[in-house]
Amino acid sequence: MRPLLFLLMLLLGLLLLIPTSPVASQDAPQPTFIPYDIPTTTTPKQIGTRGIAIVSAYNADPAQTDDSPCITASGYNLCERGGQVVANNCFAFGTKIEIQGVVYEVQDRMNARYDCNYLDIYMEKYEDARTWGRKHIEVTVID
């Protein structure tokens, strides 16, 4: 009797190890990941188009860039040439973007965690960049 009881308990234990979850129906709604900034950003992708982007500001400082803060990703020297430069991870170098009436040229890249909706304006003074902060504003691709 005991061996039979042992076998019955062993069989019951094995049955409990078998997964019993139902197969997901193809008609069931699937979870979707939606980044938080999709509803508020529509960065333009083509020349002459407008859109809303997240625009911040940075300085040529190793704490904000890398060990060669004056040299942008395109090779442009900010410390020697200055100018209206913006960083973005999607637009080609040389693309001109109008932000609040000022035309900036894409000459730098941002950290890889930032997508196309982010622009980072170069400013010479730290205080100016801090004052700018981060804004959701309209931008226009010029050229």
pLDDT tens-digit series, residues 92-122: 999 999 999 999 999 989 888 888 889 999 9
Q: What is the pLDDT of residue 86?
A: 93
Residues 6+ away with beta carbon under 8 Å from 132: 55, 56, 57, 121, 123
In terms of pTM, does the model score above 0.85? no
Alpha-carbon distance of 128 to 74, in angstroms, equals 24
- Domains detected in the chain: 50-141 (2.40.40.10)
3-state secondary structure of 32: coil
Answer yes or no: is pLDDT of 132 > 80: yes
Q: Would you say residue 59 has pLDDT above 80?
A: yes
Retrieve residue 102's tokens.
Answer: 């000022």
